[in-house]
Amino acid sequence: MNRNWIWGLGLAALALAVVLAMPRMTRNGRMDQSPIPGSPTRTELDADRPSTLDFNQPRGPQSMTTATRINNRVTDAARSVEGVDEAWAAVKGTTAVVGISIDPSLRGKAEEDIKKAVTDQVQELPEIMQVGVTTDPNLARQIRDIDRAMADNEPPTQWDDKLQTLIDDLVQPAS
């Protein structure tokens, strides 16, 4: 008789678990769409996905993950240009600033050709509409520092003003 009582209790617990796991129905016979407490909402799940890009308007704030991913794509594009030894990038909206290091013997026309090639290569990326490129070591260091700050998830208040100043200095206004 003791075993039957334990089996009955086990079956009752199992039945209760099944009933609690079933979706709830509303009075009109439809499924209840309210979230389960403690589960992420659709907005939270989509927070790390890049939004659809609107190239005609400046973009709103990006998640750090997206900004870092775009910075890396711009950096890779710049490094792919022949003559570029090292590159760093920082992106705000659809505008990128790129600092590059080239062989010191390449100055004058060769330097300008490399900067133009980097600009063209970076503008091939769908996320980027405007590009500013510099070989100035001080500006390149500032771009590198901003890139690292973004990758380290430092708050934009730490680097946004510096990035805007670089954009203002390096990017030619669209005509």
In a domain, 9, yes or no: yes
Q: Could you tell me if 87 and 158 lie in one domain?
A: yes
Separation between Cα atoms, residue 174 and residue 103, nearest integer Å: 30
Residue type, 10: G
User: Do 144 and 98 share a domain, yes or no?
Assistant: yes
Which pLDDT belongs to residue 65? 61
160 in any annotated domain: yes
Q: Are residues 114 and 143 in the same domain?
A: yes
Query: What CATH number has the domain bearing residue 155?
Result: 3.30.70.1350
Q: Are residues 79 and 148 in the same domain?
A: yes
Query: Domain for residue 48, yes or no?
Result: no
78 plus 35 within the same structural domain? no
The reply to whether 8 and 88 lie within a common domain is no
The confidence band for 31, taking pLDDT boundaries of 50, 70 and 90, is low
As a whole-number percent, the residues of the chain with pLDDT over 90 amount to 13
Same domain, 91 and 137: yes
CA 88 to chain centre: 16
Residue at 57 is within a domain: no
At 146, list the tokens: 């901003």
Domain membership of residue 29 (yes or no) is: yes
Instruction: Please give the residue range of the domain that contains residue 35.
Output: 2-43
Considering the domain architecture, whether residues 162 and 82 belong to the same structural domain is answered as yes
Residues 20 and 92 in one domain: no
72 within domain boundaries: yes
The predicted model gives 61-65 an average pLDDT of 50
Q: Which of 3-17, 19-33, 124-138 has the lowest mean pLDDT?
A: 19-33
What are the pLDDT digits (tens) for 105-124?
777 888 888 889 989 999 99
Q: Quick one: 166 and 88 in the same domain?
A: yes
Query: Is 51 domain-assigned?
Result: no
- Cα-atom radius of gyration of the chain, to the nearest Å? 27
* Distance, CA of 100 to CA of 114 (rounded, Å): 9
What is the bridge-based pairing of β-strands 95-102 and 130-134?
parallel
Q: Are residues 8 and 73 in the same domain?
A: no
Does 71 lie in the same domain as 23? no
Quote the number of domains for the chain.
2
